[in-house]
Amino acid sequence: AMAGAHPLPPAWPAWLTDDTTVCRCEEVTAGAVRTAREEGPASDHRQVKQLTRAGMGWCQGRMCGPAVHCLVAAPGRPYAPAERLVATPVTLGALADSVEPPSATT
């Protein structure tokens, strides 16, 4: 929604210096992403994620994913976020307090 409301010009990755933080959660810089792309075996944003940890923090790439993709992808290739499963964490306490008896499996 934010990308549609406030689109960035196509040349914005050139504005980033190597010291610019791209992933705040894991403190990954634009320079680290560029190095992974140019000198490493990374050919897409998922491989850059594995090499640099960009997108592996608390936000799971929701904040930095598009930026990392734009730094790595071929020009004109749009960002397509991976589908995420809809899930809600359940605490062990909630499971222990369950009123439903465990089912017997045979």
Distance, in Å, from the CA atom of 23 to the CA atom of 45, rounded to the nearest integer, reads 13
In the chain the domains, ranked by start, together with CATH numbers, are 2-96 (1.10.10.1100)
Looking at residue 106, what DSSP letter applies? Answer: -
Mean pLDDT of 20-33: 94
How far apart, in whole angstroms, are the C-alpha atoms of residue 34 and residue 38? Answer: 6
Instruction: Report the pLDDT value the prediction gives residue 85, as an integer from 0 to 100.
Output: 61
pLDDT of residue 22: 92
pLDDT tens profile 27-75: 999 999 999 988 877 777 788 888 999 989 998 888 888 888 888 876 6
State pTM to two decimals: 0.64
